[in-house]
Structure 1
């Protein structure tokens, strides 16, 4: 799909209300997770350190190309059990930061529970539009589904998930025919506020992208399993995004789990997928076993 280059907002005056009674400055704060969590850098340092250990394991197949662009690579972490399902994880960073290498830690608990894990790398904004990024993720899913036998997993048990921007992308790509359902962790479902705050400086979202790439705007096939997590200590806008999407999906989906995890913020919530007995890890295991 070609990108409509018309801007979503010609000029945003920081002193005027731009979204839900918030000025642009207030909206910037409402979506700034790094500033909201004082120890966010410590969480990320821990992720990087543990991910380096996981990526050095014998079960890791690293930097498998799924497309032509430099960041079109994925890592595959094989469980000890043959032909079990695959959980595809998409990293966050508001579509413009971080990389797959930092998030290999999510494979630790899941592989121990006999689930294969793939982490997806993708081109970041502004080097890619959100339309481009979504297309890259779709290509990664295509590659994995087409190579299930070679990689050694059950093609009938593919679930996709992600954190923050990755939660958005997992919801968006859940329509892929190979995907049985998705697990969003602290995800974004409506891009309108994103288009009106600091995050749009690199994303440069068009009106068309806001409409087409917002999961909240589109019905999801009722056969897809939907799982939504957010932390109790998330920024209010992040919790609202998840709550509003849960209300929308609940009208058509009986197989919906919407959970606010007590005591967790935007970063500490990932402990619940890292640890094999975590709330998120247990949900994934229950879905795939």
Structure 2
């Protein structure tokens, strides 16, 4: 599993999130974490391209790392949830687990966050999975906390509906009582709901 950190594409680093590998690791799932150049030093197009390049690099190293070469499950939180959805099209990705993500960037483009992201309308649409016709037919699990901002809850539910309308495999779940930060405890815990969903993605996409 490859984990993509959040921070609105402009803060945080992968090292902060290493602890959350504990849940999947407890079930024998190998975990890697990926970093990326933060805005404003990189555009969102650049960041998405870096994620794809990182996946390609990791995929080539899986045998040497002792991991099965059946494809990578990508997971990410917040901005990392968005990047997870953008990574689904990579040939080396078998499924995605997006946590509290943002899937329509237009509200971001019209907020203070765009001072560093510098999105114009074309870039916003290009990088908004909810604005695309269809999508990649790989399983995607979407989760959000019931105590999160209404916009994040709406975006997650709307993106689940978007995929369902195009007949793309998707599951959607609100985790009761979880806010934008405490939701990650469900990945930290070996029996947490997100850990369970990750295990299910591996099971669903395993080679027969």
TM-score bracket, shorter-length normalisation:
over 0.9
Aligned counterpart, 2:202: 288
Q: TM (normalized to structure 2)?
A: 0.94
Asked if 1:91 is matched to 2:15, the reply is no
Pick one of 177, 181, 186 that aligns with 1:263.
Answer: 177
Q: Is the 8 A contact 1:163 1:187 kept in 2?
A: yes
CA distance in 2, matches of 1:207, 1:240: 21
**Distance in 1 (alpha carbons) for counterparts of 2:168 and 2:115:** 38
Question: Which ranges of structure 1 fall in alignment gaps of 5 or more residues?
Answer: 1-86
1:100 to 11, 14, 29: 14
Q: Distance in 1 between matches of 2:169 and 2:45?
A: 29
Distance, in Å, in 1 between the alignment partners of 2:188 and 2:84 is 18
- Contact 1:110–1:116 (8 Å) recurs in 2: yes
Residue pairs, 1:123-162, within 5 angstroms: 123-162=37-76
Correspondent of 2:157 among 214, 239, 243: 243
Residue in 1 that maps onto 2:119: 205
Structural RMSD (CA):
1.0
Structure 2 residue matching 1:227: 3-state secondary structure: strand
Is contact 1:108-1:274 (8 Å) kept?
Answer: yes
Structure 2 counterparts to residues 176-255 of structure 1, below 5 A: 176-218=90-132, 219-222=134-137, 224-253=138-167, 255=169
TM (norm. structure 1) is 0.68
Please state whether the residue corresponding to 1:257 is helix, strand or coil: strand
Give distance in 2, aligned partners of 1:253 and 1:154: 29
Runs of 4+ with deviation above 3 angstroms:
none
The residue that corresponds to 2:206 in the other structure is none
Structure 2 gaps, min length 5: 204-208
Of the structure 1 ranges 279-288 and 188-197, higher mean CA displacement relative to structure 2 is found in 279-288
Q: How many residues align?
A: 202
Larger CA Rg, structure 1 vs 2:
1
CA distance in 1, matches of 2:12, 2:91: 28
Q: How far 1:99 moved relative to its partner?
A: 0.1
